[in-house]
Amino acid sequence: MTKMATCDRLTTLFVLVLLVVSMRAHAQSDPLPTWNDGATKQAIVAFVQQTTTSGSAKFVPPEERVATFDQDGTLWVEQPIYSQVMYCLERVPAVVKAKPELANVEPFKTVMSGNRDAIAKLSKQDLEKILVATLTGMPVDQFNADVSKWLDQAKHPRWKRPYTELTYVPMQDLMKYLRANGYKTYIVTGGGQDFVRVYSQKTYGIPPEQVVGTAGGTSFGYDKSGRPFLTKMPKLLLNDDAAGKPEGIHLVIGRRPAAAFGNSTGDRQMLEYTGAGDGARLMMLVLQDDAQREYAYGPAAGLPATKVGTFTQALHDEAKKNGWFVVSMKNDWKRIFAFDP
Amino acid sequence: MTKMATCDRLTTLFVLVLLVVSMRAHAQSDPLPTWNDGATKQAIVAFVQQTTTSGSAKFVPPEERVATFDQDGTLWVEQPIYSQVMYCLERVPAVVKAKPELANVEPFKTVMSGNRDAIAKLSKQDLEKILVATLTGMPVDQFNADVSKWLDQAKHPRWKRPYTELTYVPMQDLMKYLRANGYKTYIVTGGGQDFVRVYSQKTYGIPPEQVVGTAGGTSFGYDKSGRPFLTKMPKLLLNDDAAGKPEGIHLVIGRRPAAAFGNSTGDRQMLEYTGAGDGARLMMLVLQDDAQREYAYGPAAGLPATKVGTFTQALHDEAKKNGWFVVSMKNDWKRIFAFDP
């Protein structure tokens, strides 16, 4: 090839590169395609631009770009019952099979009866017994395999789809947008840390080390062949709900988030803790106000409280007072699920 | 500029780029410049090459490249006394000033006396009282500021230098080499998680979220102006030593490390847990056998055990049996400290 021909090829290459760069810039012009235009979307985009533009008064160094997300009701459907509670209830037959003496002991007897009304009326103490029996006592690896298998089979009663398909696409878009701008996204959930870690990478692109949740102790030991393993113990180390959320954030992350997202009173302290830091902050609460496409519930939506996800009027008032944004699922989101038309 | 001239400039640019790339490759030809050639160094390089070469049978996906390091005696000097214990002892006057009634109460009375022999003889229970009094009860931010100030002033009794200058350069080189190959480096220490997080970024390039250590609970609350803050509580959540190390790794990281480094029996279970995973693994123990440049102690070096960092003969035997490498400070390391000639 002559020098001139090489030069032409180089020029073509350069033009192509420019074209690709410009196409990418265009694709990025709406970083939140599933969000309707409005104050909420503008606040997100302004926050990201201000905190990532070097020289900006609100610039946040990359290592401090931490965004925390509640899971149930913030990233995916929490009605009519938390998916993890469903897992525990559906694990009861396996537990009773392994320990047949439990078949006639409450609350296992009620769960085994399949009587939905009776199961719905189980007390908090009964539920705790079920959680302990189904979430502890087994090797960590066994638990992970059990959860993984369940997730492949279990279906939400309304949509008849796996729970992992019931994530809110606008929140997925938001997490991707934040990550594309150097933010580390964490899940901070009242749910079980080990439970959520099983699917967090696949479902949200969030690795296990970025999941903070309610955590029990484990116990190190050896199996018969001398191979070491960890057993899940019925010892609560962290109740990652309400005041436990900032405590869990300190324990696992050791940094104050710059942005935090929730949907209930269980997220109040996380948002307060996030807001108490210096510099730019973004706090948001998702309001379930879309009975048609998802659910509508809770006093802040002018509706009765339900067993899960309480968004009280007091929390709504605090959000107003503190400059937190309330995301209306109905008005702010173009689509809710990936399978929505 | 003519097309021909542009082309010449492009060619020059390409040659320059090639030159830089080749210079970098040359600079990287010895990734561990402070390590002497030998089996240990070869094992490290082989492990990194095998686990990061795509197509290799031992390839480890980037997200699973986790390497954990004990701190005291593995990354920096632990003799004659752990730096954190020194911090606690030196904090006692401030605690007594705030609570004068402690001046006549043991063990505070002994510490205030300044009698080194008496202080060295304090029981484990006494020491625990001092740890609780100096590490808990204050806001997290206050604690961080106190530790940071102490680190700026405190000096090691032998070298008369700040503790943060007493890190082993070969281990720093090793961590940089692993990070350059996509490994996430974690500190997994029996020391206090909050204590180590204060200096981990500056001293080792390890961010707070990659420090796992002995951790107490915190308590979320509000100050008089209504600003939320966390207080360090005298409630042990994780004793990150011995069996507590794999338990802590599960709690904070949620993945099994591919490589682990320690120097004492407190690291045994972490190395066992690391070694029990599938695929390529690298486990190493640093042996303090260099009385001249650092210290020599412990049965594995044919010397008496000391109060800190016990490397027993049994651990040495287990290392041999399991294919763990023992790093001789004397023979494997060209230099120990950055200030060494």
Neighbours of B210 (CB within 10 A): 23
What does the CA dihedral A178, A180, A182, A185 come to, rounded to 10 degrees? 40
- Non-local (6+) Cβ contacts of A193 within 8 A are A211, A212, A213, A214, A215, A238, A240, B251, B254
Neighbours of B303 (CB within 10 A): 15
Residues of B in contact with A250 (CB under 8 A): 140, 218, 230
Residues of B in contact with A229 (CB under 8 A): 276
Q: Cβ–Cβ of A243/B215 closer than 8 Å?
A: no
A300 in contact with chain B, both atoms CB, cutoff 8 A? no
pLDDT tens string A321-330: 999 999 999 9
Confidence of residue B5 (pLDDT cuts 50, 70, 90): low
ipTM of the complex: 0.91
pLDDT tens string A142-182: 999 999 999 999 999 999 999 999 999 999 999 999 999 99
B201 in contact with chain A, both atoms CB, cutoff 8 A? yes
pLDDT tens string B147-168: 999 999 999 999 999 999 999 9
Which of A140, A238, A250 is closest, CB to CB, to B140?
Answer: A250
With CA atoms as reference, report the closest residue to A186 among A216, A164, A213: A213
With CA atoms as reference, report the closest residue to A201 among B188, B249, B254: B254
B4 in contact with chain A, both atoms CB, cutoff 8 A? yes
B269 in contact with chain A, both atoms CB, cutoff 8 A? yes
Residues of A in contact with B207 (CB under 8 A): 63
Residues 106-165 of A with CB under 8 A from B: 140
pLDDT at site A10: 61
- What's this model's pTM, rounded to 2 decimal places? 0.92
Q: Cβ–Cβ of B193/A4 closer than 8 Å?
A: no
With CA atoms as reference, report the closest residue to A221 among B264, B276, B315: B276
Residues of B in contact with A236 (CB under 8 A): none
The size of the A-B interface in CB pairs under 8 A is 103
pLDDT tens string A204-253: 999 999 999 999 999 999 999 999 999 999 999 999 999 999 999 999 99
pLDDT tens string B15-68: 555 555 555 554 558 999 999 999 999 999 999 999 999 999 999 999 999 999
Average pLDDT over residues B161-177: 98
Separation between Cα atoms, residue A185 and residue B305, nearest integer Å: 45
Residue of A nearest to B244 (CA): A220
Q: Is residue B222 within a helix (H) or strand (E), and if so which, with residue range?
A: strand B211-222
pLDDT tens string A277-307: 999 999 999 999 999 999 999 999 999 888 8
Looking up tokens 């407190």 gives B266
A247 in contact with chain B, both atoms CB, cutoff 8 A? yes
Half-sphere exposure of B248 (CA within 13 A, CB side): 34
Neighbours of A161 (CB within 10 A): 14
Q: Cβ–Cβ of B218/A247 closer than 8 Å?
A: yes
Separation between Cα atoms, residue B67 and residue B64, nearest integer Å: 9
Residue of A nearest to B271 (CA): A228
Instruction: Quote the mean pLDDT of chain B.
Output: 93
A214 in contact with chain B, both atoms CB, cutoff 8 A? no
Residues of A in contact with B61 (CB under 8 A): none
Q: Is residue A214 within a helix (H) or strand (E), and if so which, with residue range?
A: strand A211-222
Distance from CA of A278 to the nearest CA of B (A): 12
Alpha helices in chain B (DSSP H): 3-27, 39-52, 83-98, 108-113, 116-120, 124-135, 140-153, 169-180, 193-204, 244-252, 268-275, 313-322, 329-332
Q: Cβ–Cβ of B253/A209 closer than 8 Å?
A: yes
